[in-house]
Amino acid sequence: MGIRLDESVNWPALYAIYSATFGQLAEADIVQHMHEDGDLILSLMAYDDVPVGHVAYSRLTLHETPSLKAAVLAPLAVAPSFQKQGIGASLIQDSLKRLANTGYDLVLVLGEPHYYGRFGFSPRLAEKLKTPYDGPYLQALALSDKGKDAHGSVSYAQAFVELE
């Protein structure tokens, strides 16, 4: 599969992917909100000639373990006609490597354990955190040994706080 991954933010493509996938602009607006607030840690676009998928990460503050670098994976979308071809997996695996290489210790995601479990995300690690999204769909992945010590209350980026 010849997909290309690119960190530069292509806003028209990003809006097109999220609106094709979710039938609304809310998710792309969240990414733009994160960007405007300086909370967008990583944006990765997948191209198969045309833009086909996108994942965003935003900052997460861990109040009890503030020396840990943590991020939230959301949103994620692969355009409907390109789903189930491994593009989502490429986006996640590649972005997690980029975060690990830049010193991130922990990633949090809210989603289907059946999907995110294959990348190592676990609800058990997330259970030690106190978040607005506590429950079986909240999963965490430690990118370093330090990440395994994460616990206590967290603050999401403002773009999410305004959705609560």
Ligand X SMILES: CC(C)(COP(=O)(O)OP(=O)(O)OC[C@H]1O[C@@H](n2cnc3c(N)ncnc32)[C@H](O)[C@@H]1OP(=O)(O)O)[C@@H](O)C(=O)NCCC(=O)NCCS
Would you count residue 26 as binding ligand X (CB under 6 A)? no
CA atoms within 13 A on the CB side of 85: 16
**Near ligand X by CB under 6 A, which window of 2-10, 30-38, 87-95, 142-150?**
87-95
- State which of residues 13, 31, 44, 77 lies at the interface with ligand X (CB under 6 A): 77
Residues in contact with ligand X, total (CB under 6 A)?
Answer: 17
Alpha carbon distance 83, 88 (integer Å): 8
Start-end of H helices in 23-157:
26-37, 87-101, 113-116, 123-126
Would you count residue 85 as binding ligand X (CB under 6 A)? yes
- State which of residues 78, 99, 106, 107 lies at the interface with ligand X (CB under 6 A): 78
- State which of residues 26, 37, 61, 86 lies at the interface with ligand X (CB under 6 A): 86
The answer to whether 52 touches 58, Cβ cutoff 8 Å, is no
